[in-house]
Amino acid sequence: MPIITISRQMGSLGEEVASALSSKLGWELLTRDLLMDRFFPEISAEQRSHLAESAKFYLSEYKDGKSFKDVLSDSLLQLAEKDSAILLGFGSQILLSDNSNAIHVRIIAPDALRLNRICKQFHLAEEAARELLASRDRKHKRFVSHVFGADSSSEELYHLVLNTGLLSVDECVAAILSTVKEHSLRSRITSETKKEGSRDHQKSLPVFKNPSEAEFARILDMYQIEWRYEPKTFPVEWDSEGNVTLAFSPDFYLTRFDTYLELTTMNQKYVNKKNRKLKKVRELYPGIHIKIVYKKDFLELAERLRGSAFPADEENADK
Amino acid sequence: MKEISYKKILFTEEQLQNRVKELGETLAHDYEGQDLLLLGVLKGSLFFLTDLARATKMPVMVDMIGISSIPDTTRATGIVRITKDVDIDITGKHVIVVEDIIRTGLTTAYLLQTLETRKPASLEVCTLLYNPDRQLIDLPVKYYGFEVDRSWLIGYGMDNGEIGRNLPFIAEIEHH
């Protein structure tokens, strides 16, 4: 299930972003305190205060030979399996770093602005606020570094790093929502036919192989039909050692219509090989919708759109 | 004055009228007692829409929608936009988009995407002519008149340079 983890600096408005996101999506917002109660129901008041004081205490035993860290890891992974949720802090970005359904977000703000916000929020003088901020930052850094051996400020851990010195809470929420939407789509494309052996390359740079593909992409844009360029490869033949010897990478995937399109600019007589490949893809990857756009059809479509055949026939020119 | 020229007649007036009558009966049966809106796509579906509406022996609402592709001088293709929107509020109504012909399905896909956002009770497609092999997008074409494998056609709403729409039959035209 989709999960959003939010790591934040103190005074960055990270809680506000998480809470606004939770109400927009209708997903539960799981804070450190809620997770503590849920994951460690048998914790004593003394243990709780030890954990709050020293990150190293997470490495000590909670019960049945398992440390607090072990229980935290297991419980978070289980939670991510069955629920959509927003996780605030608690090293969740590191524990779920390999989870392809998780989006990791870090909310930051310039130090001066954080200081200013802390002064106002807690009615503190600047010096006291500075100390509070420094101590919280230190404590957080120590928790992540001692428990997980990681640096929470490392940008590589996150899909998005958002600066509330430059963005409003609403803008942060909008950025996260649109990332979640796109990411879920990519995850769906990746996971479909994965077990049959399809290969995903959505993260590689899309480069059109010829002008026809670029023109076809423009036609799809015209009709507001959402597409992805060559998102996947479907191996269809292997040698005796299991190496792929023949594969098919359809040019376009129409996300809303769940259809792959292969554009061919070759003459009809050279298309037979492609048709055979297509037949194999359909056999090996059942349930997949692939269509070939033949040169003749493509040229006709482009011609109708340019209106050269029927200049006055605009409304009919696109079919 | 422009001459109307065509290669050969593919569907005669009688064939068209008989098939449209059958489609009308099917619609009346399938949508009995329901709020049905026949939404024609300008201008190609004009004659099919009027005949179909009259062949559907039950109260139906009729409206039309127009879309056009606007050529862009800087690019090979332009943009598609709605030039005449539906006047009737389609929310909660059963809507059938009435087309003259579906070729690649791109126009229809665009229309369906647009209409879906207005939350009709149901949204189906009825096209007079249909070429499933050419279709790039699988559309919910619930009703169609005839399958065709030709695409340069004239008559019964379809034109060649705005001429020929009022022919009572459908013919194939020369295309070079």
Burial (CB count within 10 angstroms: exposed 0-12, middle 13-18, buried 19+), residue A130: middle
Q: With beta carbons under 8 A apart, name residues in chain A contacting B151.
A: 300
Residue type at position A312: A
Per-residue pLDDT tens over the stretch A214-254: 888 888 888 888 899 999 999 999 999 888 898 889 999 99
For B159, name the nearest residue in chain A, comparing CA atoms only: A313
Question: Beta strands A160-163 and B79-84: pairing type?
Answer: unpaired
Strands, E assignment, chain B: 8-11, 36-41, 61-70, 79-84, 94-102, 122-130, 141-147, 153-154, 170-172
Residue found by looking up tokens 């917002």 in the block: A29
Question: Which residue of A257, A291, A301 is in closest CB contact with B109?
Answer: A257
Q: Is B18 helix (H, G, I), strand (E, B) or coil?
A: helix
Q: How confident is the model at residue A149 (pLDDT cuts 50, 70, 90)?
A: confident
Residue A267 has pLDDT above 80, yes or no: no
Q: Which of A36-40, A62-66, B59-63 has the highest mean pLDDT?
A: B59-63
The interface predicted TM-score of the complex, written ipTM, equals: 0.78
Does B146 contact A at CB distance below 8 Å?
no
CB pairs < 8 Å spanning A and B: 98
Degrees to nearest 5, angle at CA A30 with A131 and A160: 70
Residues of B in contact with A215 (CB under 8 A): 76-77
Q: How many CB atoms neighbour CB A194 within 10 A?
A: 12
**Which range has the worst mean pLDDT, A70-74, A305-309, B168-172?**
A305-309
Host H or E run for residue A292: strand A290-293
Q: What is the arithmetic mean of pLDDT over A54-66?
A: 83
Q: List all residues 6 or more positions away from A197 whose beta carbon is below 8 Å from its beta carbon.
A: A234, A235, A284
Mean pLDDT of A95-108: 91
Tell me the mean pLDDT in the region A183-198. Answer: 84
Q: Which residue in B65, B75, B74, B120 sits closest to B98, CA to CA? A: B65
Asked if the model's pLDDT at residue A315 lies above 70, the reply is no
Q: Give pLDDT tens digits for B71-89.
A: 655 555 567 888 899 999 9
Q: Is the pLDDT of residue A113 over 90?
A: yes
DSSP A150: -
Q: Which of A104-118, B2-16, B46-60 has the lowest mean pLDDT?
A: B2-16
Cα separation, A202 vs B171, in Å, equals 46
The predicted structure's pLDDT at residue A292:
86
* Residue B22, CA distances (Å) to A146, A209, B33, B49, B55 in order: 77, 48, 19, 14, 8
Of the ranges A32-46, A190-204, A213-227, B112-126, which one carries the lowest mean pLDDT score?
A190-204
Give the closest-approach CA distance of A261 to chain B in angstroms: 8
- What's the mean pLDDT when you consider all of chain A? 86
Decide which of B56 and B104 is more confident: B56
Cα A290 from Cα A282, distance rounded (Å): 8
What local confidence, expressed as pLDDT, does residue A310 receive?
33
Q: How would residue B116 be classed by pLDDT, with cut points 50, 70 and 90?
A: very high
> If you search the block for the tokens 């999960």, which residue do you land on?
A3
Q: Which residues of B touch A311 (CB under 8 A)?
A: 161
pLDDT at B27: 96
**Is A258 in a helix, a strand, or coil?**
coil
Q: Is B176 on the interface with A (CB under 8 A)?
A: no
Contact status of B80 with chain A (Cβ, < 8 Å): yes
Distances (CA, A) of B61 to B32, B43, B86, B132: 13, 18, 11, 28
Closest in B66, B77, B104 to A315, CB measured = B66
The Cα B171–Cα A48 span in angstroms is 84
* A28-32, A141-145, B72-76: segment of lowest average pLDDT: B72-76
Neighbours of A206 (CB within 10 A): 13
Q: What is the pLDDT of residue A77?
A: 87
Contacts of A218 in chain B (CB under 8 A): 75-77
Q: Which of B71, B158, B162 sits opposite A312 (nearest CB)?
A: B162
- Cα separation, B158 vs B45, whole angstroms: 8
CA-to-CA distance for B80 and B69, rounded, in angstroms?
Answer: 4
Within chain A, residue ranges assigned H as helices are: 14-25, 32-39, 45-53, 68-82, 92-95, 111-122, 126-148, 169-191, 211-222, 272-284, 295-306
Statement: residue A123 has pLDDT above 70: yes
CA distance A194 to chain B (A): 23
| SS3 category, A318 | coil
User: Which chain A residues touch B106 with a CB distance below 8 Å?
Assistant: 219-220, 223, 225, 301, 318-319
Q: Which domains does chain B have, with CATH numbers?
A: 34-150 (3.40.50.2020)
Q: Across the interface, which of A218, A291, A311 has its CB nearest the CB of B136? A: A291
Q: What is the mean pLDDT of residues A196-206?
A: 79
Contact between B157 and B43 under an 8 Å Cβ cutoff? The reply is yes
Tens-place pLDDT, residues B89-108: 999 999 999 999 998 888 89
Backbone φ and ψ of B163, nearest 5°: -105, 145
CA distance A10 to B144: 63
For A192-216, give the DSSP string: TTTTTT-EE-TTSPP--SSHHHHHH
Pick the residue of B104, B115, B159, B170 with the most A CBs within 10 A to test the interface with A by mutation. B104
Measure the CA–CA gap between A86 and A29, rounded to whole angstroms. 5
Which residues are bridge partners to B81 per DSSP? B68
Highest mean pLDDT among A107-111, A276-280, B110-114: A107-111
State the residue for tokens 């109307």. Answer: B4
Contact B47, B170 (CB under 8 A): no
**In A, what residues contact B, Cβ < 8 A?**
215, 218-220, 222-225, 254, 256-257, 259, 261, 289, 291, 293, 297, 300-302, 305-307, 309-319
| Residue from the list A220, A289, A311 with its beta carbon closest to the beta carbon of B161 | A311
B115 contact A CB<8A: no
Q: Which domains does chain A have, with CATH numbers?
A: 3-191 (3.40.50.300), 199-306 (3.40.960)
What pLDDT was estimated at residue B176?
62
Distance CA A150, CA A152 (A): 6
To which residue do tokens 């399958």 refer? B147
- Does the pLDDT of residue B151 top 90, yes or no? no
